[in-house]
Amino acid sequence: MLVLTRRLGETIVIGDDIIIKIVDIHGKQIRVGIEAPSEISVYRGEIYERIMQENKAAAEAAAADEGSVAENVKELLKEKATSKDGSAEKVKDSIKETD
């Protein structure tokens, strides 16, 4: 980690297009201004951590849903196949192919 000392009004440049400027100092609080291209997301650390946790939880829930959806589709296909004449074997074969 690079640690720099800056005074009020001084800047730090990252790459060609990110500028960090110390805009205000009040006691232990420092206000920082950040100029960056719109395609670069800038978050406070605690907000970024919350976003990552929520994304992880959503991905886990989606993965669980995909498994249950696949099982439900297989069951529906089996039910439909047994209700029609002679097509059960075709549907069973197609289910085996998707596994």
Integer Cα distance of 95 and 99 in angstroms: 7
Q: 């249950």: which residue's tokens?
A: 68
12, 20 Cβ separation under 8 angstroms:
yes
**pTM (2 d.p.):** 0.56
Integer Cα distance of 8 and 31 in angstroms: 9
Q: If DSSP codes are grouped into helix, strand and coil, which group holds residue 31?
A: strand
Q: What is the pLDDT of residue 89?
A: 58
Residues of the chain with pLDDT under 70: 65-67, 69, 80-99
